Amino acid sequence: MNVEIRPESIADAQAIRQITEAAFKLNRYSTGAEGAIIDALRKAGALTLSLVAVAGNETVGHVAFSPVTIEGEHMEWFGLGPVSVKPALHRQGIGSALIREGLARLKQAGANGCLLLGDPAYYRRFGFENDTALRYEGLPAEYFMRLSFNGHVPTGRVAFHEGFNVSQGDAAGSADGVADQI
């Protein structure tokens, strides 16, 4: 399948929401808030990088990157997620292509690294690894992973953008619920 990866446009917002909700319905660890998280990040101006995969004229995938803090400081590290692909197109490399392109663009822009919460078996292929020097509280440590772009890894407690604190049905981006999973 021929897929173009490009930055999201305003016209992509609804398709991104639909793809994200459909993809995460299949994820047993989903909070159901992933679509609202992207909307909240967008509303807050915190989508540092938001890429879509397009096949023909159809948006078929999306990946978001947003700033994180480490010990309360912005250190040019970013969180990866959510990432989603239309369910009918899973296992065709679209998600991997989105992640690889996003990581390359972050590195090229001068980012120091990227963090995520996710399946180690999947994300290790991109170079992510566990590191006890970085902590994200509330979830098993093996699912919290990092990728340094410059060899330097800070230490301390990580916080994702407050846009991750939305409830399942919240499209407006208020922080009235908890969704600590990317």
Residue spans per domain, the chain:
4-164
Q: Which CATH superfamily is domain 4-164 in?
A: Gcn5-related N-acetyltransferase (GNAT) (3.40.630.30)
Contact present, 139 and 120 (Cβ < 8 Å): no
pLDDT digits (tens, 9 = 90+) for 74-94: 999 999 999 999 999 999 999
For the packed helices 34-43 and 13-25, what is the interaxial angle rounded to 10 degrees? 150
pLDDT digits (tens, 9 = 90+) for 42-79: 999 999 999 999 999 999 999 999 999 999 999 999 99
Tell whether pTM > 0.75.
yes
pLDDT digits (tens, 9 = 90+) for 2-37: 899 999 999 999 999 999 999 988 777 677 789 999
